[in-house]
Amino acid sequence: MALPPALLARASDYGRLQAGGDVSVVSVATGDDAFLHHAYFYDNADDYVAVTSDFVARGIEADQAVLVAVPTPRYSMLRECAWVAAPSVELVDMSEHGRNPGRIISLWQNFVSRNKRQGVRGIGEPVWAGRSAAELVECEWHEQLLNLAFADVAGFPLMCPYDVSALDGDVVKAARRSHPLTYVAGELAPSASFTGGPKSTDDFDRPLAQPPASSILTVFGAGQLPAVRRVVFEHATQAGLSPHRTADVLVAVNEVATNSLRHGGGHGEMRLWVSGDAIVCEVRDSGRIGQALVGRMRGPLHAVGGRGLWLVHQLCDLVEIRSGEGGTTVRMSTYLPGSR
């Protein structure tokens, strides 16, 4: 699909914002010193292609690196656009790279780090019809955390499309709360529903559904990690996970249980069960994290420790971390073959 010449020629709000022009309509920080995190609500494919193509074209004209991360149906649509061939543009399938919402900030972190001298912009669509209720909760938290993770990245416009024709109204309302700006009729406008970005030390302690009564409980302390791994191996294999995915689950649970021994009071408990489409391992302890971005961003390569929860996010299909006065829970889900 060729990029319409009119879109290349039109002076959009993105071009004016990047050039530092008149942006008085926006009540939050804008311009070359701002992270422009904005939601774009669409309801038809033609508008979606036109608006996203315009956004990408502005980046190409400004010699910026552009990353477009959208779910499979939109990925298949946009890969036909002419701008995909531009050397400065990267198009990836969010259904793969962002299957676990906890991986997405790391994706953007890597992109910004690789291109910090060139300037960056991106399109990230983390929410699509078919996401589970648990995934949607993590997506909403992800969108809030973006405001914290990239607050100091100057001149980074990040568009987050939402398909209002397919998504539940509550999901759309959540998007308005998590984005300081919205894209409306070719302009960036402040979101009156925006609740502000979280602080770096905030807890995230939204309740989780209770484990089923049939879940298997293993209490562990110092020297008992081999028993934890044995239980995980037996049930992951029985559930039908491949040896490769079983190894991933073993590493993830071992990392979290090790954290319980080191930072969670020296002991913990693991529950394991199989839901309709996943094997779920949950580790609880009495510790408290108090770091909103924990596990979402990769630590420095030279750092000793501190990367365990980041690794867990890379290995599992869904990670739900809850921490507060009552302790910390890390719930790790790995989808069974053929379920997703």
Q: Domain residues of the chain, as ranges?
A: 5-190, 216-335
The pLDDT value given to residue 23 = 28
Calculate the CA 305 to chain-centre distance: 22
Instruction: Sort residue 218 into left (φ over 0), alpha (ψ -120 to 50) or beta.
Output: beta
List C-alpha distances in Å: 83 to 2, 50, 53, 120: 8, 12, 8, 16
Can you give the pLDDT at residue 111? Answer: 97
Q: Give the three-state DSSP class for 79.
A: coil
Burial 41-50 (b: 16+ CB within 10 A, else e): bbeeeeebbb
* Residue 211 confidence (pLDDT): 96
In the CATH scheme, what is the homologous superfamily, with its name and number, of domain 216-335?
Histidine kinase-like ATPase, C-terminal domain (3.30.565.10)
pLDDT at 196: 87
Among 253, 245, 327, 243, smallest CA distance to 290 is for 327
Q: Residue 295 and residue 319: Cα distance in Å, rounded?
A: 10
Is the CATH number 3.40.50.300 carried by domain 5-190?
Answer: yes
What are phi and psi for residue 269, nearest 5 degrees? Answer: -140, 145
Question: For residue 54, what are its two tokens?
Answer: 């315009």
Q: What is the pLDDT of residue 154?
A: 86
* DSSP element (H, E) containing 22: none
Mean pLDDT, 10 residues at a time, over the chain (340 residues)?
Answer: 32 32 34 82 96 97 97 97 97 97 97 93 97 96 96 94 97 97 90 90 88 96 96 96 96 96 95 94 94 88 70 97 94 89
pTM, rounded to two decimals:
0.88
Instruction: Tell me the backbone φ, ψ of residue 235, rounded to 5 degrees.
Output: -80, -30
Three-class DSSP category at 101? helix
Angle subtended by helix axes 243-263 and 225-239, to nearest 10: 150
- For 163: left if phi > 0, alpha if psi spans -120 to 50, otherwise beta; the answer is beta
